[in-house]
Amino acid sequence: MGDVKCAFIVQRPQYKGETSRLAMTHALAYQTVEILLEDGETVTPTLCFVGEGVLGLSKGQKAMEMYGITSSESHIKNCLLVDLDVFVCKEDLEKFGIPESTLPDAEDMGAEKQIRVVPFAEIQKAMEEAKHVLFF
């Protein structure tokens, strides 16, 4: 089977519904899936934020303090910690006036991976390369 690429595309803002959060937890679950695979088989997820999906990615979210729920920021940091590719659409960040400097990283957790702000064309490429494309 080799490597199976999956693209998780988040197109809705976080928090009001569970949909966009599920993309992150599903993408994170690839680590669990690998336990069930044969030698030589891998799953490579890519988590992409486009459109209004780029909302809710800011640093300093206080979802746990306010509502007792895990923040999107925390989920993204966990994604980076397990070396998941996280792409954020450059054009959509610019459209909403969100500076790249407000995006979180997981350096404090020891992660080397960082969010990559990329043109939509690169997200399109990730979708084309993926065997499974899932929209959230």
Contacts with another protein by CB under 8 A lie at 13-16, 52, 55-56, 58-63, 65-67, 71, 73, 95-98, 102
The sheet with strand 85-89 has its strands ordered as 116-118, 85-89, 42-49, 3-10, 132-135
Which CB, 39 or 62, lies closer to another protein?
A: 62
Which CB, 44 or 58, lies closer to another protein?
A: 58
Which CB, 35 or 66, lies closer to another protein?
A: 66
DSSP-assigned letter for residue 44: E
In the complex, minimum distance from the CB of residue 53 to another protein, in angstroms, rounded to a whole number: 11
In the complex, minimum distance from the CB of residue 77 to another protein, in angstroms, rounded to a whole number: 13
Please name the residues in contact with 125: beta carbons below 8 A apart, sequence gap of 6 or more: none
